[in-house]
Chains A and B, each alone.
Chain A
Amino acid sequence: MPKVELKKISNFICRDISLRVGSGELLVLLGPTGAGKTTLLNIICGLIPYQGSVLFDDKPVDSVPVAGRGIGYLFQDLALFPHLDVRRNIIYGLSARNWGRKEIQARLDEMRGLLNIGHLLERYPKDLSGGERQRVALARSLAPAPRVLLLDEPFNSLDVKTRKHLRLEFKRIVRSLGLTTIFVTHDFKEAEEVGDRLAVMESGRLEQVATSREIFFSPNGYKVADFLGSPNIFDCESYEALGNGLVRAHCGGFPIIMVWEKENLDKIAISPEDIYVSRHEPPGPPINRFKGTIVEETSHNSVVTITIKTEARDILAKMRKEDFVAENLRAGAHVFFILPLRNLKGA
């Protein structure tokens, strides 16, 4: 499979983007809505005009028409042809490329086995569930044996459970085919789960390309940090293993117990929305429970961001406005907060 390289790509949205995706790599393009992620996919496909150069295996493909680039594309809304049944959707690209009847049948059988969609072939898209539609759309993208696979937030419309299941299945399939893949999402957790590396985009610019941990713990500038939800990051002074995958660590002045099975623990991080805040002392053992005072509150839409001052350092937490009001919280209030064991990330 080819390595993909973008050299100084610019257009009406994207600005001077250079990026390399290794052969068989699964890169996640991450960023908020309107960052230019879909536009960049369309540029790689050749669907929209651009300046700069797109290279597959070091060869420019800028003058190669869309169909000749060997790309499989999974659209955000999947774009299944509603007037064709599943079988004809999947073989559409093969017929368009003049594959022979036997080759088409063999490829259809292959896709049927790979994505477990044999029972759906005679159905129309309107008769499929969300998960089934995803599978069929992926089968249609993979059927013409693309060299590069582009996915534009394909799991957006699904419920959390189906989404998680399909993500894992998708990763398994892409890995087994060894495809060079670019996966677009605005969800950091999804990006973390799917990608080898993450490329963070904001306002048409590429802000950072790194592993998910590097991005989370060392965001390159305030835009990336803001997009990630401005996580609280603490440097760790010491830690000791407790067994069963747990460690007791001193990070940012807090004695913390967390799940950690690797060698060194230099930093820990927690997203503001993962911190539980209450006016009353929470029941249970005093693990990862601390006291502080709210010194600042800002409200945006239905979310309140609060700064809690503690003896060690300030903590940023986010909570739903209705919970904030129900707990009778305000600036100056003394509060208890919990850093939940499972939400703490280590590095």
Chain B
Amino acid sequence: MNWLKRIIPGWELLPIAAFLGLWEALARLNLVPGQISMPPFSMVIEEFYHLIAGGMLVDNFLSSLVRVLIGFLTGSFAGIAMGIAMGWNDATNKALHPIFSLLYPIPALGWLPILMLWLGVGELLPITIIFICSFFPVLYNTITGIKGVPKDLVRAAEILGASKAEILTTVILPLALPNIFTGLRLEAGMAWRVIIAAEMVAIPTGIGALLMRAESLIRVDIIIVCLFVLSVMCLSFEKFFIFVERRLTGKWR
């Protein structure tokens, strides 16, 4: 591949360009099998522009984004806080571990029917689903991170005169960060997948709801635009946490 790199700068984009070219050609020549025709790439881009200009995509995207951010941030914060309490204190861990062990295996979307009955179909429903989806993985990753800090490091800090609070903030939490970030990174992408599913099933606004409307109107171009937005958001959230993690831990790992 080195020779290709030398001849064509930015050669990594070639496979994407080839894929898009093939897509355009196959759609234009009507060679994609199936009863409903596949829109060419250029038409999807055109529709993307119309959806943005008309405000429909932006409105629905913002609805989803706000839900994801509130649910994800509160769920992660609660997961980290509870993870610290359980990882730091054995009694808390022993008391709460059995309950969380029972709840953790339930898929986030499994909560949907019962939450619909309890909360009704409003903004609180998707936010709660995202909260649950973010809480458990972050909780368990935080506990693992805290318990994984070598005992000698804690003892060293204690002998050097650090208080319990200082040990927690200056030794345990910084060393648990890689594990906490693993949880955050995985769940940041998962939050988007779950919100789309929740909106498709129960909520009238958001990217998921737009997807469902496009399906009923047989608008493959809009469906593709929505999937593209979803893909970019999953990737962006994951990359953001990789970036922050590297900034915080890259020097010493």
CB distance from B177 to the nearest CB of A (A): 8
User: How long is the Cα–Cα vector from A75 to B156 in the complex, in angstroms?
Assistant: 8
* B161 and A144 contacting across the interface, CB-CB below 8 Å: yes
A92: B residues at CB distance < 8 A: 157, 160, 162, 170
Cα-based distance from A248 to B252 in the complex (angstroms): 59
As a 0/1 sequence over residues 68 to 88 of chain A, the CB contacts with chain B under 8 angstroms (1 = contact) are 000111011101011111000
Identify A67's interface contact among B158, B170, B175, B251, CB under 8 A. B158
Residue of A nearest to B167 (CB): A96
| Chain B residues closer than 8 Å to A83, beta-carbon distance | 174-175, 249, 252
**Residues of A with C-beta under 8 A to B157:** 81, 92, 96
Q: Is the CB of A73 within 8 A of B175?
A: no
- B155 A79 Cβ-Cβ under 8 A: yes
Given known contacts A81-B171, A82-B175, A83-B174, A97 and B161 CB-to-CB distance under 8 angstroms: yes
Across the two chains, which residue of chain A brings its CB closest to B251? A124
**Is A133 interfacial (CB-CB < 8 Å)?**
no
On chain A, the residues within 8 Å of B215 by CB distance are none
A93 part of interface (Cβ distance < 8 Å): yes
**Nearest chain A residue, comparing its CB with the CB of B154:** A79
Smallest Cβ distance from B150 to chain A, in angstroms?
7
A67 to B161, CA, bound (A): 4
Question: How long is the Cα–Cα vector from A145 to B47 in the complex, in angstroms?
Answer: 72
**Which one of B156, B166, B251, B253 contacts A79 once the chains associate, using CB atoms below 8 Å?**
B156
Cα separation A89 to B166 with both chains bound (whole Å): 14
| Chain A residues whose CB sits within 8 angstroms of the CB of B114 once the complex forms | none
**B217 sits at the interface (CB 8 A):** no
B152 at the interface (CB under 8 A from A): yes
- B159 closest partner in A (C-beta): A73
Say yes or no: is A147 at the interface (Cβ < 8 Å to chain B). Answer: no
CB of A66 closer than 8 Å to a CB of B: yes
Question: Which B206-253 residues have a C-beta within 8 angstroms of A?
Answer: 249, 251-253
Chain B minimum-CB-distance residue to A88: B170
**Does any Cβ of A come within 8 Å of B153's Cβ?**
yes
CA gap between A144 and B160 in the complex, in Å: 8
Q: A72-B159, A81-B153, A92-B157 are in contact. List 11 more A-B contacts (CB 8 A).
A: A47-B155, A47-B159, A66-B158, A67-B160, A73-B159, A79-B155, A93-B160, A96-B166, A97-B160, A124-B252, A126-B252
